[in-house]
Amino acid sequence: MSFSFVPGKEIESDLTLIGEGAYIKGDCEFDRYTRIHGRIEGKITGLSGSFIVVGENATVHGEIHGEDLVIDGFVHGNIYANKKVIVSETGRVLGSIKALQLEIKFGAYLEGKATTSHSHGTKLPSAQSH
């Protein structure tokens, strides 16, 4: 899974960063490339074309919906991806995962059901509709 930057565009315009000391309570929508290193309590929705990384020290308590997701930290909630979910060696998930493609690295922790399907019914809003 890779993320390519458009030549001539500044990286800051393509990146949303939730810092390690940050705490957000409520539902969040992200587009483009997002890295979460803080704590979020609420539903996370990645818009069409999004790439979300839950960092190693991050905690998320709530559902995550997106296209491409990497879980390096802790998620307590169900995860739904239109494309791919990767749970890394440091990733911990308490909840079910439903995705087109799923990769669980050796050492990852998953307590829940994992399902891969070509039609799991998650339609993400596009950034243009907002």
Q: Spell out the residues 6+ positions from residue 72 whose beta carbon is closer than 8 angstroms to its own.
A: 53, 54, 55, 56, 58, 88, 90, 91
The number of helices, as runs of H, and strands, as runs of E, in the chain is 0, 15
State which H helix or E strand residue 52 sits in. Answer: strand 51-54
Domain ranges of the chain: 14-118
53-65: per-residue pLDDT in tens?
999 999 999 999 9
> Which residues of the chain fall short of a pLDDT of 50?
1-9, 120-121
Distance CA 73, CA 97 (A): 15
Whole-structure pTM value: 0.82
